[in-house]
Copies of this chain bind each other. A is one copy, B any other.
Amino acid sequence: MCEANAYLLTTDGEELILESVDRVVPHEDGLLLEDIFGRRKIINARIRELALVDHKIILERG
């Protein structure tokens, strides 16, 4: 499986937001993340970087 983990950049480093993310879709409140089990999380952030080989989605506050 080629899902990735989503992290939010904070002043302390990277905070894990959601594991095993399959889908990321822009949402009026930021981004909608959906994991491979269908669990969803909306976060007020934008994409800072994708590093897919490292399975990482790095987010930052808008």
Contacts and interface: CB of A to CB of B under 8 A. Distances in A.
Contacts of A53: 1-3, 22, 36
A48 B46 CA distance: 12
Contact of A23 (B1, B25, B26, B51): B51
User: Interface size for chain A: under 10, 10 to 19, 20 to 34, or 35 or more residues?
Assistant: 20 to 34
A49 B3 CA distance: 14
Contacts of A9: none
Contacts of A47: 24, 26, 47
A8 interface: no
B26 A50 contact: no
Interface of A: 1-4, 21-26, 36, 46-53, 55, 57
